[in-house]
Structure 1
Amino acid sequence: MDTRVAPLDGAFVDVGGRRVEVFDAGAGGTPVVVLLTGAGDTARSWLPLQTLLARTARVISYERSGIGASAPGSPRTIDGLVAELDGVLAALAPEPRVLLVGHSFGALIARVYAARHPARVAGLVMLDATPDLLASDPVRRRGYRLYAESIATARRMLPPPLFARLVRRNALPLYPGRGPFLEALTPRARDEWHSAVAALFLGDAVDEMRAVLPGTVAAASELADAVHGDLPVALLTTGTYGRGWITMHDAVARRYPNATHRLSGDRFHNVHMRHFGRIAETVRAMHDCASGDLHAR
């Protein structure tokens, strides 16, 4: 029997008069798990993890403004990104609490949302999160800008058909460690992911990536003053960007009294594409704990 993961059927919700593509899997129960992509990524990169989690929980992912089949127009600011998330939740899960799982920049969006809507959030899982102090680290700030501009240069110099072929050959963009992810997909799911990535990087990916550093600046003061109480938080950090990256994540973990912080043991930033089984266990444990707390009330 083929155990590889097939694509999920997408749907659309209205957020502020704009169409947003969503993937809603699993059934019932609280909290609802919500997956938030990193900058310049597609929600289809969550497919193996979303499918695993949907066996025991309801799991939502969505394409941000201008990505996938989502209409453009939402501001790529922290306020705009948090408002977009709030609009998706208002359309799909207006009542239950949510467990936010964010990769990279998606984790920063999740943190700001949790700070603004504490009653709505049952827990945070942060996967190689973009720290709010990233822009204040000159080495990693320059490194991030160099990466974003290298993608912009490749997009500008390569004819779109060649760029798309390189994506399908896994030569572009740089997704180190994606092997387990691709092996987990059916051929159709793999084709859909490649097509989504090619469209993304020929479209709005670079613009979204350029929003990261201003986003960290906007979030930093707000998160520094936020009171997080006993919100359950789990961080998983890779060694991709060196010891300073891990130190910044240690600082993030200290902001949350009820946080655990673990290292992935490798140097693959797209941890959700490599360790989806391990992450599913973490999310399930937090989900079970939050579900038990809600039933006890």
Structure 2
Amino acid sequence: MDSRLSPLVSAFVDIDGRRIEVFDVGTSAVGDPVVVILTGAGDTARSWLPVQTTLAHELRVVSYERSGIGASDPGSPRTVAGMVAELRGVIDALASGRQVLLVGHSFGALVARVYAARHPDRVAGLVMIDATPDLLGTDRLRRRGYRLYVESIAAARRLLPSRIFAWLVRKNALPYYPGRGPFLSTLTPEARAEWDRAVSAVFVGDAVDEMRAVLPGTAEASVELRSAPPGRLPVALLTSGTYGRGWITMHDAIARRYPNAVHRLSGDRFHNVHMRHVALTVETVRTVLDASRQPTDGPSRPLTERD
């Protein structure tokens, strides 16, 4: 029997007159939150297939394609406020009356933090996978490196015909998803073909616009998060060494803002931790889920040291 993963069946929800593509699988027990996955800038929800499928054995798990990605209609503003509004629409449509456990990668983690700050009663826990720090915009070296990376993608998009770009994706010959080998090995040919198509479409389409929104987004979010009370929310951060020691230090600073935080390191330099380390990502989500099930009376748990 082929144990590789087949594509998930998508559906659509209407948010402000726009169709947003969603993947909604699994069932959560009474009292457990619905897990909602937020992709990084310029990524597709198809990159979460192994994690989402694994978690769906025990939980209801929702992922979605942001405006202009996948089969989602364009039109939402490329701002943190616009993305939080879109997330709120997805949650209201699919998890009305239920708490959610937010799992965000990179820029998606920053959006998740802002949503949690605005709607603490709706959020049971927060998982940040190699999160974009709200202080990134003040780090001159990494800000410059990020701009160079985005503009290199923009140049490739201008110079390469769409069909050539798609062919390079199929041949696994582009550097934009380093460490994706283990991820690709888990997919059926149908799921691999769907991922290839989605990645090609997002880079030829809206990836650059989303990525260019990251640095202004950190400035937008930092103002709000600086004054937001951390509350008693269970939080976990899973951080790679992709961007050096300073990147890890910024994540340490995020963890210190939340009294109930766990900070772990992936142990390598692959930014797409959820694609490279499925089991570790799932375990991290379960850590926050277990914490969310605990009574909230009594003193907060202290910060757990990095593993």
Q: Name the TM tier (shorter chain).
A: over 0.9
1 CA distance for matches of 2:3 and 2:224?
Answer: 44
Specify the code of the residue in structure 2 equivalent to 1:26. G
Shift of residue 169, structure 1, vs aligned partner: 1.1
Higher helix share: 1
Specify the code of the residue in structure 2 equivalent to 1:53. L
2:286 paired residue number? 284
Shift of residue 172, structure 1, vs aligned partner: 2.3
1:134 to 133, 136, 143: 136
Shift of residue 134, structure 1, vs aligned partner: 0.3
**Quick check: 1:151–1:173 contact (8 Å CA) kept in 2?**
no
What are the superposed Cα offsets for residues 234-262 of structure 1, whole Å, 9 maximum, x if unpaired?
Answer: 00111000011011111111111110111
Corresponding position: 1:10 with 2:25: no
What are the superposed Cα offsets for residues 80-105 of structure 1, whole Å, 9 maximum, x if unpaired?
Answer: 00000000011111111000000000
Scaled by the length of structure 1, the TM-score of the pair is 0.97
2 CA distance for matches of 1:65 and 1:142?
Answer: 27
Shift of residue 277, structure 1, vs aligned partner: 1.0
SS at match of 1:118: coil
1:100 paired residue number? 102
2:35 to 25, 33, 36: 33
1:263 paired residue number? 265
SS at match of 2:8: coil
**Quick check: 2:238–2:284 contact (8 Å CA) kept in 1?**
no
SS at match of 2:112: helix
Corresponding position: 1:64 with 2:87: no
Q: Residue 255 and residue 145 in structure 1: after superposition, are their counterparts in 2 closer, same or farther (change >3 A)?
A: same
Corresponding position: 1:163 with 2:165: yes
2 CA distance for matches of 1:173 and 1:117?
Answer: 37
Shift of residue 292, structure 1, vs aligned partner: 5.2
More displaced stretch, 183-192 vs 172-181: 172-181
**Quick check: 1:39–1:208 contact (8 Å CA) kept in 2?**
yes
Segments of structure 2 that go 5 or more residues without pairing to the other structure are 297-307
Any residues of structure 2 matched to 1:181-220 within 5 Å, and which? Answer: 181-220=183-222
**Quick check: 1:36–1:102 contact (8 Å CA) kept in 2?**
yes
Specify the code of the residue in structure 1 equivalent to 2:109. A
**Quick check: 2:125–2:234 contact (8 Å CA) kept in 1?**
yes
1:23 paired residue number? 23
1 CA distance for matches of 2:175 and 2:295?
Answer: 42
2 CA distance for matches of 1:203 and 1:95?
Answer: 35
1 CA distance for matches of 2:73 and 2:66?
Answer: 8
SS at match of 1:95: coil
**Quick check: 1:31–1:291 contact (8 Å CA) kept in 2?**
no
1 CA distance for matches of 2:123 and 2:228?
Answer: 14
Specify the code of the residue in structure 1 equivalent to 2:228. A
Corresponding position: 1:179 with 2:181: yes
What are the superposed Cα offsets for residues 90-142 of structure 1, whole Å, 9 maximum, x if unpaired?
Answer: 11111110000000000000000000000000111100000000010000000
1 CA distance for matches of 2:148 and 2:163?
Answer: 24
SS at match of 1:124: strand
Structure 1 runs of 4+ off > 3 angstroms?
Answer: 291-294
Percent identity over the alignment? 72
Segments of structure 1 that go 5 or more residues without pairing to the other structure are none
Scaled by the length of structure 2, the TM-score of the pair is 0.94
More displaced stretch, 58-67 vs 157-166: 157-166
Shift of residue 291, structure 1, vs aligned partner: 3.8
Shift of residue 228, structure 1, vs aligned partner: 1.3
Q: Residue 191 and residue 31 in structure 1: after superposition, are their counterparts in 2 closer, same or farther (change >3 A)?
A: same
